[in-house]
A = this chain, B = another copy of it.
C-alpha cells in the first residue's frame, strides 16, 4: 500500500513526511481543535456534523483566522478522494482534522498575535483490532481516581487536543486491567465520559446517558439517541453514578471508530449478566443496517486477519 497524503496548510505530504514546526501552538500549548470522522464503505459518516462541530470549537476557542467551513469541507473531500483508493473495499478509514492556532510566540500578546491557523487533514486506516473482541465479550469499564476537567475550567464540548488529563485517567485504569476502558467521573462524582467517547447504561429497558454538562456532545451519542427514538426504546439524559452502572442490565460506550462498544464488567464486577445485552445488540444492528456495514463483523474480520494462525 502506498502512503496516504496529509493535507497541511494547502500542501499535500506523504504520511511519513508530514511534519509541523516545533514552534506551532498545537505542540507548544496543546492549542488544537479536532474532529475524527469515520467512513462506512468509504462513505464519510455525518461528515457535515463533524465539521459543524469543529467550527463550534474553533469559534469558542477564538481562532483568529481559519478557512471557511465550506472550504474546510472541500479540502476534506479532496483528502478523501486522494486517499480512498489506498484502502481495501472492505476496510474503512478515519478522517482526522487538527486545526491549531498557528505559530506560537510566548512573549507576545496573544490577542494581537494573529497568525494563520495551521490546518491538518489526514486519513488513517480504521484499525479496529484493539476493540474488536469487545463486540463479543464486552470490555471492562473502570473508573479512574482523577476526575474529568469541569466545564467551568475547560468545557469538554470544545473538542480539543489538550488531553493530558484524559490520558492520565486512562493510564490509571490500566493499573486495574491493561485492557480497561475508562469512565471518568465529574468533580461531583457523576459519570462524565470516556477519554474518547460517551457512556450509556440500560436499566429496565431504558437507555440512559449523562447530560453534556461534563461530556462531549458526541455525534455517535447523538446517533444512538436517534436510533432509540426510531426503535421506540425509551431513552434519556441525566446524572448517573457508578451505582447505576453496577446495577444496570447493560452498559456500552459510543465513539466514532467502534460506534458502540459493549461493557460487560465495571470495576471488576459483571454488568448485568456479564455478557453483551440485547438492547446493545439491537442498537448496533440498527446502526449497521443504516450504514450498510456489519460494524462488529468488520472489526472481527480485522482481528482474525491480524491474529497469527
Which residues of A in the span 33-69 have a Cβ within 8 Å of any Cβ on B?
Answer: 36, 56, 59-62
In the bound complex, residues from chain B placing their C-beta under 8 Å from that of A165 are 149, 153-154, 162
CA distance in complex: A278, B171 (Å)? 31
Is residue A246 contacting chain B, with contact meaning CB distance below 8 A?
yes
CA distance in complex: A239, B238 (Å)? 11
| A177 to B, closest residue via Cβ | B175
Chain A: number of interface residues, binned into ranges: 35 or more
B112 touches A178 (CB 8 A): yes
Is residue A102 contacting chain B, with contact meaning CB distance below 8 A?
no
Is residue A144 contacting chain B, with contact meaning CB distance below 8 A?
yes
Is residue A75 contacting chain B, with contact meaning CB distance below 8 A?
no
In the bound complex, residues from chain B placing their C-beta under 8 Å from that of A157 are 241, 243, 247
Is residue A158 contacting chain B, with contact meaning CB distance below 8 A?
yes
A147 touches B153 (CB 8 A): yes
Is residue A174 contacting chain B, with contact meaning CB distance below 8 A?
yes
User: A22-B6, A22-B98, A98-B22 given as contacts; is B29 within 8 A of A60 (CB)?
Assistant: no
One of A84-92, A187-195, A223-231, A284-292 at the interface: A187-195
A144 touches B145 (CB 8 A): yes
Which residues of A in the span 205-262 have a Cβ within 8 Å of any Cβ on B?
Answer: 211, 213, 238-239, 241-243, 246-247, 257
| A36 to B, closest residue via Cβ | B106
Residue of A15, A107, A160 most packed against chain B (CB within 10 A) = A107
Is residue A28 contacting chain B, with contact meaning CB distance below 8 A?
yes
| A242 to B, closest residue via Cβ | B155
Residue of A6, A32, A112, A164 most packed against chain B (CB within 10 A) = A164
B168 touches A61 (CB 8 A): yes
Is residue A179 contacting chain B, with contact meaning CB distance below 8 A?
yes
Which residues of A in the span 98-155 have a Cβ within 8 Å of any Cβ on B?
Answer: 98, 100-101, 106-112, 120, 122, 124, 127-131, 142-155
Contact of A213 among B145, B151, B166, B190 (CB under 8 A): B190
| A122 to B, closest residue via Cβ | B22
